[in-house]
Amino acid sequence: MNIQAPLIIDIEGFALSALDKSRLKNPLTGGLILFGRNWQSRKQLTDLCADIKAVRKDLLICVDHEGGRVQRFRTDGFTHLPAMHRLGEMWSQDGKGLVGEGVLKACKAASAVGFLLASELRACGVDFSFTPVLDLDYGESSVIGDRSFHRDPRQVSLLAKSLMHGLQLAGMGNCGKHFPGHGYVKADSHVDMPVDNRNLKAILKEDAKPYEWLNNELSAVMTAHVIYPKVDSRPAGFSQKWVQDILRMQLEFTGAVFSDDLSMTGARVLEAKPISLTEGVLAALHAGCDLALLCNQSLKGSTVIDEVLDGLAEAQVKGWWQPDELSEARRLALLPTSTALAWDDLVRSVNYQQALACLP
């Protein structure tokens, strides 16, 4: 029998409610994403993650924890990680391009950031972070900004690869975002529908290069809520051309594909028509995404998550959507396979202390 648990949902508070547990038990739920509102202390976070795994061990506990302004947990011992642009600045500080000492220092620092990021999260029970950002810094996008390593796709790729090596050392996968690139457009897809009018050749030559060069190292990719009208009229996350034809076939990526948050403004319109969250989930899955991200829908007693779960179940019964065992295998492959160090053991370890010393 085909199975797939494609929904990544959220919860409202510091602990699981009875409603949260019911949603997490649903066989269509594959995991959840944590936010700052779910953080009170390391102990609280560790207890929350343990309670989630007690509901279902296979649930993928995710978070947006990149460093800089996108870091959900910042107190009670968590290292304040630099924005990725700081690593790009380190690269260039000696002015010797791809061969200078600054390159080596920047790559070493990127690996240290990855290790600290992943090891601290895993010590509290978090499985996965949506990082690194592979968008290029064109100096236009406020939502990307200093989250980007650099304008040059070569520097982005090498720094991202170093960061991913650090994640791997701590037993965590990675997620390159936002495919094929969100850095060129000024509009913020959280509140607008960005449009990038470049042609496919230009995008593949620049923004998509990190995905081509890192296709064997990337565990997962997150799509952009951006329309590239010279390629397809649909946003990338709703586009079979982008997900299946280009990412899968042309760039030969075989890992998991996530939609970005489907509650964002950039994901609420399709072919110039407003769509529901259930329709957005189905559009993403039909495009070839393995996992659909649904954020900030558990707040103030909202029933939206239940409506989407029911809608997806109905779509399955009526044959509008069919589960995919390969997609489920890709989800399960993102779960850590090694045992994480407890916090006190982690902070005393040589690897941890060396990583701290490498931070910019």
Active site residues: 190, 260
Q: Is 55 exposed, middle or buried (0-12, 13-18, 19+ CB in 10 A)?
A: middle
User: Taking the C-alpha atoms of 60, 66, 71 and 75 in order, what is their torsion angle to the nearest 10 degrees?
Assistant: 90
Cα–Cα dist 223/241, whole Å: 12
**Beta carbons within 8 Å of 57's beta carbon, 6+ residues apart:** none
**Beta carbons within 8 Å of 89's beta carbon, 6+ residues apart:** none
Beta bridge partners of 61: 32
Cα–Cα dist 114/131, whole Å: 9
Cα–Cα dist 173/175, whole Å: 7
Cα–Cα dist 326/288, whole Å: 11
Cα–Cα dist 326/79, whole Å: 36
Q: Is 249 exposed, middle or buried (0-12, 13-18, 19+ CB in 10 A)?
A: exposed
